[in-house]
Chain A
């Protein structure tokens, strides 16, 4: 029963996205960006295949995380603001179920968008003769795992603050998540004794989003070890679960005034 309810909420979240015109605008924009890769690649007289795919993958990552953040931060807040949550929670739906349903729905939505952008990427690659192989598949899969973490982050902030603050926080986590390895390196090279523990603490607490970034390996067709993909998956799922636990805890204590 609980799974039926969560699934119903998730389905409905997906349906909301599908019927939202904004999403199509973003999708169109993303595909246009993938297309500009063709243009940019002509600026270089060599390795244009690589540049084409670099630009395409960057566009896909940027747009999909953008969708995850900007749809995700309003996810809970919108329901409270528009009071749609009132009737839903008056049904035998717990707050945790509600949160999970919305979360899963948004993850599925971003995955669908990722899929569409992936098809566009494959089409452009095939049309220009750029190589495609299992590395690209692994790359897309890991982008999907990054979305699992980013949507959970957006959901967490959305569970207790306004969309404005939630997007600031989520964007902050995204930036720091990609910086955390550099931060750790900085800490290791630093002479100040106090910095090192702080930085390594941050490294452990912040999501290490570079774990999900194998774009360079995919584009250069370098080997991507299966073990690394599996560990990254485990890391992403585990991290997202922790975030959702925290989000549920905060969300369950909220008053909807």
Chain B
């Protein structure tokens, strides 16, 4: 049974070539990417625009055929269709038959997903309630706002109670309240034991939600790993904000602990390595200055991201000979 497999998604050496126009010229957009998504995790697939995120997701959804390599969901090749009754998909800026009402479209997707007739109506009603479209259920989708369409998209992705849910840029084009709703929804899905695969370029969302990420740049995976693991790495920094610090103390912090000082006058922000925070606090407090705040700096995904992009640029400069296929963290 597919649901016994611990890797819910397996992508192994997937290559995608496109032929722009009719010529023989081939443009390679995925250079043999590999990654896994484990059961019950929220997986962030991150990369700048044009990196190949959507292409990868479309291969997983069977909308595009891989030129080489293998992609599996729940142990089935993505070219098959039967396993899709356990899969939900929310495309970016989803668009549906606008001649149908909210209720009709959910019924339509429920039928296609094989939801038994006996439980279909109840399921549709539950989801309408759940995404807050119960009042608009009998209005045509033509009249829906962007946010309502997004919620319709979520409802159709969940109508058959899937085990894995794929989301393509789920926050794009939403207002802050909409984004919060989606975040809550994703967390709720994890609470129910679902696996969530999320394509995004909004890093704060990933930091807030994802258990693991893969970073893709120019069709190559540049990082795959847990977000928390980044936190335990050496070199994590903290920021101290102090008031009334004597210049000589400040100089000692700067010299002995390689602290970076910003600001002047009464309040000064000091950025130092986390392991030095204890010593620094002692020094500052003993000098009679006030400590206003201590903030541990989380490793920003942005840093990983930027490192990956820089690595890619180096590769490109170095003839791109390095074609590491989905290894661990770059560098």
Q: Is the CB of A4 within 8 A of B111?
A: yes
Instruction: Kindly provide the distance from the CB of A161 to the nearest chain B CB, expressed in whole angstroms.
Output: 12
Closest approach, in angstroms, between the C-beta of A32 and any C-beta of chain B?
Answer: 25
Evaluate contact between B84 and A92: CB separation under 8 angstroms.
Answer: yes
Residues of chain B lying within 8 A (CB to CB) of residue A8:
108, 111-112
Q: Does B64 contact A (CB under 8 A)?
A: yes
Question: How near does chain B come to A114, taking the closest CB pair, in angstroms?
Answer: 22
Q: Which listed residue (A20, A84, A93) contacts B96, Cβ 8 A?
A: A84
Q: Is there a chain A Cβ closer than 8 Å to B109's Cβ? A: yes
Question: How many whole Å from A84's CB to the nearest CB in chain B?
Answer: 6
Interface stretch, picked from B43-51, B85-93, B268-276, is B85-93
Residue among B18, B109, B160 facing the most chain A CB atoms (10 A cut-off)? B109
B97 interfacial by beta-carbon distance below 8 Å: yes
When distances are taken between beta carbons in the complex, the residues of chain B under 8 Å from A83 are 91, 94-95
> Are B61 and A255 interface neighbours, CB within 8 A?
no
> Is residue A88 contacting chain B, with contact meaning CB distance below 8 A?
yes
Question: Could you say which residues of chain A place their CB within 8 Å of the CB of B75?
Answer: none
Report which of A1, A20, A92, A256 forms a contact with B63, defined as CB distance below 8 A: A256
Nearest Cβ distance between residue B136 and chain A, in whole angstroms?
18
The 0/1 profile, CB within 8 Å of B marked 1, for residues 3-25 of chain A is 01100110010011001100000
Asked if A89 is at the interface of the complex by the 8 Å CB criterion, the answer is: yes
Known A-B contacts A19-B99, A84-B97, A256-B64; A90 and B84 likewise in contact (beta carbons under 8 Å): yes
Most chain A CB within 10 A, of B18, B87, B96, is at B96
CA distance A88 to B84 in the complex (A): 11
Chain A residue contacts of B62, Cβ below 8 A = 89-90
Known: A90-B87, A93-B81. A256 touches B58 (CB 8 A): yes
Provide the residues of chain A in CB contact with B104, threshold 8 Å.
Answer: 15
Residues of chain B within 8 A (CB-CB) of A91 are: 84-85, 109, 112-113, 160
Assess the A12–B61 pair: CB atoms within 8 A. Answer: no
Contact A9 B112 (CB under 8 A): yes
> Is B100 among interface residues, defined by CB-CB distance under 8 A?
yes
A15 touches B96 (CB 8 A): no
Chain B positions 237 through 251: 1 when the CB is less than 8 Å from some CB of chain A, otherwise 0: 000000000000000
Q: Which residues of B contact A84 (CB under 8 A)?
A: 95-97
Give the residues in chain B near A253, CB-CB below 8 Å. Answer: 65
> In residues 146-185 of chain B, which contact A (Cβ within 8 Å)?
153, 156-157, 160, 166
Assess whether B82 is interfacial by the CB under 8 Å rule: yes
A90-B89 contact in complex given A84-B97, A253-B65, A256-B58, C-beta closer than 8 Å:
yes
B114 touches A (CB below 8 Å):
yes
Q: State which of A9, A87, A88, A257 has its C-beta within 8 Å of the C-beta of B64.
A: A257
Instruction: Give per-residue flags for A81-110: 1 if the beta carbon is below 8 A from chain B beta carbons, else 0.
Output: 011111111111110000000000000000
Q: Which of A4, A87, A89, A256 has the most CB of B within 10 A?
A: A87
Which residue of the partner chain B has the closest CB to A90? B89
Contacts of B156 in A (CB 8 A): 87
Residues of A within 8 A of B114 (CB): 1, 4-5, 92
- Interchain CB contact (< 8 A) of A86 among B63, B65, B83, B85: B63
Q: How far is the CA of A94 from the CA of B112 in the complex (A)?
A: 11
The answer to whether A87 and B109 touch (CB under 8 A), given A15-B100, A256-B58, is yes
- Given known pairs A15-B100, A84-B97, A256-B58, the reply for A92 and B85 (CB within 8 Å) is yes
Interface membership of chain A positions 66-82, coded 1 if the CB is closer than 8 angstroms to chain B and 0 otherwise:
00000000000000001
**What are 14 pairs between A and B in contact, CB < 8 Å?**
A83-B95, A86-B94, A87-B89, A87-B96, A89-B62, A90-B61, A90-B63, A91-B113, A92-B113, A92-B114, A94-B81, A253-B65, A255-B64, A257-B18
Residues of B within 8 A of A (CB): 18, 58, 61-65, 81-85, 87-89, 91, 94-97, 99-100, 104, 108-109, 111-114, 153, 156-157, 160, 166
Known: A86-B91, A255-B64. 18 other contacts (CB 8 A): A1-B114, A8-B111, A9-B112, A12-B97, A12-B108, A20-B99, A83-B94, A87-B91, A87-B94, A87-B156, A91-B84, A91-B160, A92-B81, A92-B114, A255-B18, A255-B63, A256-B63, A257-B64
